[in-house]
Amino acid sequence: MIGAGTLIECLASQQVSAILVIGRRPSGVKDPRLREIARDDLSNLADIQNELRGYDACFFCLGVSSVGMTEEAYRRVTRDLTLAVARTLAAVNPGSTFCYISGQGADSSERGRTMWARVKGETENRLLELPLKAFMLRPGYIQPLKGVRSRTGWYQAFYNVMGPLYPLIRRIAPRSVTNTAAVGRAMIRLAEGGYPRQILENPDINALAAQP
């Protein structure tokens, strides 16, 4: 869902000259700036390493809910997959920007009680050790906009209910709410000019997105 929203913003930006999407299925979007590589295994990109050269930034939007998962399984998908991609990019494009969609409440100490927060914090810490300009985005509630839908049925049902309430929630809890368009625009801004901090909370994301 976040990836789809980010792609919309990249295609709308005049600052983005070329886009390579790597995912498990084609997006169905057609644009002369867009190229796609569909593959089942995203944990090993060695065979397409040369295809990744020359890109200024990676917007890493993959992720799963921890609901019903063991810590080992969640770590394998969340930490191991992310780091495998990041290490490949660090090798072919050292110094490039890597934007990681983490989550509000991620635990940088790696010792807290909440499993998903520990794993997210561990992933953030390892990314910050790589030779990349890495930024950790910690959005709270993310409302899908511009026709973006979640492929997870019960997620989408939740967004259908919450959609009409989004303007109210944004007024009541502005520090905990964002949307897919804002997340995408914020990552483009990070690729353009960076940010004073490498860990961005929800207000940072929204402030960056609002920049002209």
Domain boundaries, given as residue ranges, for the chain: 2-209
**Torsion sign across C-alpha atoms 176, 119, 123, 49:** negative
pLDDT for the residue 65:
86
The topology (CATH level 3) of 2-209 is Rossmann fold (3.40.50)
* pLDDT, tens digit (0-9, with 9 covering 90-100), for 97-141: 999 999 999 999 999 999 999 999 999 999 999 999 999 999 998
Per-residue pLDDT tens for 7-43?
A: 999 999 999 999 999 998 888 899 999 999 999 899 9
CB 98 within 8 A of CB 86: yes
CA 164, 212, 36 angle in degrees (round to 5)? 75
> How far is it, in rounded angstroms, from Cα 167 to Cα 61?
24
pLDDT above 90: residue 154: no
**What are 54-94's pLDDT values in tens digits?**
999 999 999 888 988 999 999 999 999 999 999 999 999 99
